[in-house]
């Protein structure tokens, strides 16, 4: 996968979170995913179809997800992972992927995106690509977020 295409996702995530009042997000890691198991309870998946085809998964711990939801709702305390934080997280992913799609369009890559779906569970095993999954790690005061990108041309 082209580095410019990955950058479109990275800059979109950082810009969208900044717009929502979370300005401490920085990229702290980049690598290939080497295992099927994940300890992250919250995974939000979005599909891509078009010039590039694949799935993007935002993956994090429940605690991080609740911190993000709380920030998105102007500091309202979130103590339970119910409908409210779930919709907030889906909305965040929707904004990130929408922006990514328009960033990709700027470099001539046309894609359509599916609506987000949030997968919640403990000790999950996941396989989002038959080929290779790239993991971009972000660290912020809300916690650690992993952006899994799996595309095929």
Partner 1 sequence: MELNTTIAPFVRATNNIFREMLDLGIHKGQVEAQGDSFISQGFTVMVGLTGGWEGWFFLDMSQETAIRLASIIVGEDYSSVENEEVLLAGAEIANIISGNAITDLNNIHIGLNIRLTPPSVFAGKDMSMFNVRLNACSILLQTDAGNIKLNVVMKEGK
Do 148 and 44 contact (CB within 8 A), yes or no? no
Least distance between partner 1 and beta carbon 26 (Å): 27
How many angstroms separate the CA atoms of 40 and 57, rounded? Answer: 11
Q: Is 59 in the site for partner 1 (CB under 8 A)?
A: no
Map the footprint of partner 1 across residues 70-129, applying CB under 8 A. Answer: 83, 86-87, 90, 112-129
Do 53 and 68 contact (CB within 8 A), yes or no? no
| CA-closest candidate to residue 82, choices 97, 65, 57 | 65
Q: Which residue has the tokens 């929408």?
A: 98
Q: Is 63 in the site for partner 1 (CB under 8 A)?
A: no
Total of chain residues touching partner 1, rule CB under 8 A: 38
Binding site for partner 1 (CB under 8 A): 36-37, 43, 45-50, 53-55, 57, 83, 86-87, 90, 112-130, 150, 152
């Amino acid at each position: 996968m082209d580095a410019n295409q990955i950058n479109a996702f990275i800059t979109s995530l950082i810009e969208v979170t900044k717009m929502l009042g979370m300005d401490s997000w920085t990229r702290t890691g980049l690598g290939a995913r080497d295992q099927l198991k994940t300890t992250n309870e919250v995974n939000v998946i979005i599909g891509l179809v078009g010039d590039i085809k694949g799935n993007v998964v935002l993956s994090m711990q429940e605690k991080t997800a609740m911190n993000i939801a709380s920030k998105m709702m102007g500091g309202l305390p979130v103590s339970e992972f119910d409908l409210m934080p779930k919709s907030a997280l889906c909305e965040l992913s929707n904004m990130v992927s929408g922006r990514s799609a328009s960033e990709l369009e700027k470099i001539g890559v046309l894609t359509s995106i599916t609506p987000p779906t949030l997968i919640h569970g403990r000790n999950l095993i996941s396989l989002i690509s038959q080929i290779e999954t790239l993991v971009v790690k972000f660290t912020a005061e809300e916690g650690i977020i992993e952006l899994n990108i799996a595309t095929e041309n």
